[in-house]
Amino acid sequence: MRIAELSRRADVPVPTIKYYLREGLLFPGERTSHNQAQYTEAHVRRLRLVRALIEVGGLSVAATREVLAKMYGPGMSVLDSAGKAQFAMVTPRPVIEDEAWEAATRHTDELIERLGWRVRATNPARQTLASALATLFRLGQTDQLKLLDGYARAARQAAEADLAQLRQERDPDTLLETAVIWTALGDVVFSALRRFAQENASYGAAAEEPAPSSARDTSEKPAAPSDPGVVENRTSP
Amino acid sequence: MRIAELSRRADVPVPTIKYYLREGLLFPGERTSHNQAQYTEAHVRRLRLVRALIEVGGLSVAATREVLAKMYGPGMSVLDSAGKAQFAMVTPRPVIEDEAWEAATRHTDELIERLGWRVRATNPARQTLASALATLFRLGQTDQLKLLDGYARAARQAAEADLAQLRQERDPDTLLETAVIWTALGDVVFSALRRFAQENASYGAAAEEPAPSSARDTSEKPAAPSDPGVVENRTSP
Looking at the structure, do residues A103 and A21 belong to the same domain, yes or no?
A: no
A-chain residues within 8 Å CB-CB of B115?
196, 237
- Per the domain annotation, does A181 fall within a domain? yes
Indicate if the pLDDT at residue B170 is higher than 90: no
- Mean pLDDT value of segment A67-72: 87
Vertex A52 angle, CA B134 and A176, to 5° = 105
Per-residue model confidence as pLDDT tens digits over A158-181: 998 998 898 888 888 888 889 888
Looking at the structure, do residues A108 and A190 belong to the same domain, yes or no?
A: yes
Sign of the dihedral through C-alpha A91, A92, A98, A101: positive
Per-residue model confidence as pLDDT tens digits over A13-26: 999 999 999 999 99
Of A78, A128, A194, the CB nearest to B186: A194
Where residue B59 sits, what CATH number does that domain have?
1.10.1660.10
| DSSP three-state, residue A13 | coil
Per-residue pLDDT band for A43 (boundaries 50, 70, 90) equals very high
CB pair distance less than 8 Å for A232 and B121: yes
- Per the domain annotation, does B71 fall within a domain? yes
Looking at the structure, do residues A103 and A42 belong to the same domain, yes or no?
A: no
Contacts 24+ apart (CB under 8 A), B221-226: B221/A77, B222/A77, B222/A78, B222/A79, B222/A80, B224/A79, B224/A80, B224/A83, B224/B199, B225/A118, B225/A120, B226/A80
DSSP labels for chain B? --HHHHHHHHT--HHHHHHHHHHTSS---EEEETTEEE--HHHHHHHHHHHHHHHTS---HHHHHHHHHHHT-SS--HHHHHHHHHHHTSPPPP---SHHHHHHHHHHHHHHHHHT---BTT-THHHHHHHHHHHHHHHT-GGGGGGHHHHHHHHHHHHHHHHHHHTT---HHHHHHHHHHHHHHHHHHHHHHHHHHHHHHHHHHGGGSPPPPTTS-TTS---S-S-GGGB------
Per-residue model confidence as pLDDT tens digits over A46-58: 999 998 888 877 7
- Per the domain annotation, does B175 fall within a domain? no
Residues 6 or more apart whose CB falls under 8 angstroms from that of B87 comprise B70, B122, B123, B124
Strand partners, A120: B231
- Per the domain annotation, does A63 fall within a domain? no
Which residues form the domain of A149? 99-203
- Per the domain annotation, does A77 fall within a domain? no
CB pair distance less than 8 Å for B200 and A132: no
Q: Which of A20, A36, A55 is the last residue of a domain?
A: A55
- Per the domain annotation, does A89 fall within a domain? no
A-chain residues within 8 Å CB-CB of B198?
83, 86, 159, 162-163, 183
Looking at the structure, do residues A17 and A109 belong to the same domain, yes or no?
A: no
Indicate if the pLDDT at residue A72 is higher than 90: no
Residues 6 or more apart whose CB falls under 8 angstroms from that of A228 comprise none
What's the number of domains chain A is made of? 2
Looking at the structure, do residues A30 and A126 belong to the same domain, yes or no?
A: no
Q: Shortest Cα distance from A110 to chain B (angstroms)?
A: 11
What pLDDT score was predicted for residue B75? 60
Q: What's the DSSP call for residue A186?
A: H
Looking at the structure, do residues A22 and A110 belong to the same domain, yes or no?
A: no
What pLDDT score was predicted for residue A213? 47
